[in-house]
Structure 1
Amino acid sequence: MVIYSGVGKDEHAKEGVALAIHKKYTNSIEECQYTSSRILIVKLRTETQLLNIISIYAPEDNKPKQERESSYEQLQNITESLPQNKSIIILLDFNARIGNEVIPGVKQRFNENILNDNGELLMNLCSLCDLRINNTFFDLKPQYKSTFRNSRGQQSTTDYIVTNRHIHPAQIQEVRTLNSAIAGSDHSLHLGKIKMKLNLGRNREPRAHTEKINIESMWDTTIKELYQNRLKGKIDKNPIEENDDINNSWIEEQEIKRKYHRSSK
């Protein structure tokens, strides 16, 4: 299941964000908030609480400073509006390069050494909202950390998996780039393994089972004739009286079927 937030179908798409949720977790979706063409929020039920997942595509570093700051302020307001005693995961294409300076509780040194304006905005946001940039806590080779490659072959890390303090560091098992995955983009697929038990929605009312009638087989002339002969035989054995209506006839037919199944066992 893909959940998307972006512009209308009749508009040229300059940006958009989406989340792909495995079908077995669709019953766990509590709410979707289509905040803008750059921000999407999906709330999933875990066994104990709500998990808030925020997907964001921040303006590029060459966009006007006011536009970039406004995007970060919006994300800060959203983060602060969510209960801090609930789990928050932010999946970010921040177009931010955050350097390798250690900020306790926010980021570690396992990152490239380049810092840009968007990187400073991101670090300020994480410091204010008690967020953890998990990419920087795993000592991996550069090819497993870079998430973006330009047309000249230059690589950098601009995509991040960020969590709040309610998700314990021990729950975050791995964050790395999957170089073997073909994403059809100049961004590489990013993998984050976070240990958490989700509610599969089994406590909800089960969906009614619908029996599928194989009407396609009627295209086969032999099967069609066999069905017609059997139906005619049943009608001949159980004729409908003139004073019977269709509902009573259907009930009588079902009762005959049950008697038949019981006697055949």
Structure 2
Amino acid sequence: MDLNIIQVYAPTSTSSEEEIETFYEELEKAMSECTSQDPLIIMADFNAKVGQHGNENAVGKHGLGIKNKQGEQLVTWCDEHDLIIGNTCFEQQARRKWTWKQPGDNARNQI
């Protein structure tokens, strides 16, 4: 058995809808080149906040914060492809959940 790994960096919130759409199209193309029988790991900075568990299958119960537009798109895409967002599936200490801190420490987010 082989392991398929795709590593990507997604467009930021200032990117156009066209750039974001192109990103997901290229990601799907890369996925199509993987052997479907082998495990797939997508290591990525999706520049998205998926928030706390909702009704989605892709988000675990250990997310942080409130979902943003990019997070909504990521969760929908993951649900469509039967993928999970791994860093929301494991319980962690609160200080290890956040991945971004606003200057001045006014807000912390899990991106």
State the TM-score, normalized to the length of structure 2. Answer: 0.85
1:157 corresponds in structure 2 to 110
For 1:76 and 1:149, locate their aligned partners in 2 and report how far apart those are by CA, in whole Å. 31
CA apart distance, 1:139: 2.2
Q: What's the CA shift for 1:79?
A: 1.6
**SS in structure 2 opposite 1:77?**
helix
Supply the RMSD in Å over aligned alpha carbons. Answer: 1.6
Q: Which runs of 4+ in 1 moved over 4 A?
A: none
Paired residue for 2:20? 68
Q: Give yes or no for the alignment of 1:51 onto 2:6.
A: no
Give per-residue Cα distances to partners, 1:51-91, cap 9 Å, x unaligned: 11111110111211221122122112322332221111111
**Structure 1 stretches of 5 or more lacking a match?**
1-48, 159-265
Closer/same/farther in 2, CA of residues 152 and 70 from structure 1, 3 Å limit = farther
SS at match of 1:55: strand
Deviations 1:105-124 (A, max 9, x none): x2222112311121122112
Q: Is the 8 A contact 2:10 2:47 kept in 1?
A: yes
Normalising by structure 1, what TM-score? Answer: 0.38
Q: Which residue of 2 aligns with 1:118?
A: 70
CA distance in 2, matches of 1:56, 1:152: 29
Tell me which amino acid in the other structure corresponds to 1:82: C
Identity among equivalent positions (%) equals: 30
Contact kept, 8 Å, 1:102 with 1:108, in 2: the verdict is: no
Give the counterpart letter for 1:103 in structure 2. Answer: E
Checking the alignment, whether the CA contact within 8 Å between 1:79 and 1:129 is kept in structure 2 is: no
CA, structure 1 residues 81+130, in 2 after alignment: closer, same or farther (shift >3 Å)? farther
Q: Radius of gyration: which is bigger? A: 1
Once residues 5 and 81 of structure 2 are traced to their aligned partners in structure 1, the CA distance between those partners, rounded to angstroms, is 15
Structure 1 residues 199-218: Cα deviation after superposition (integer angstroms, max 9, x where no partner): xxxxxxxxxxxxxxxxxxxx
Is 2:11 the counterpart of 1:84? no
**Aligned twin of 2:45:** 93
Kindly tell me: are residues 80 and 121 of structure 1, through their superposed partners in 2, closer, same or farther at Cα, counting changes over 3 Å?
A: farther
Distance in 1 between the 2:87 and 2:65 partners? 14
Provide the residue aligned with 2:79 in structure 1. 127
**Which residue type is aligned with residue 36 of structure 2?**
Q
Which of 60, 67, 88 is the aligned partner of 1:108? 60
Report deviation, 1:141. 2.6
Q: Is the 8 A contact 1:58 1:95 kept in 2?
A: yes
Q: Which has the higher contact order (CA 8 A, sep 6+)?
A: 2
3-state DSSP class of the match of 2:103? coil
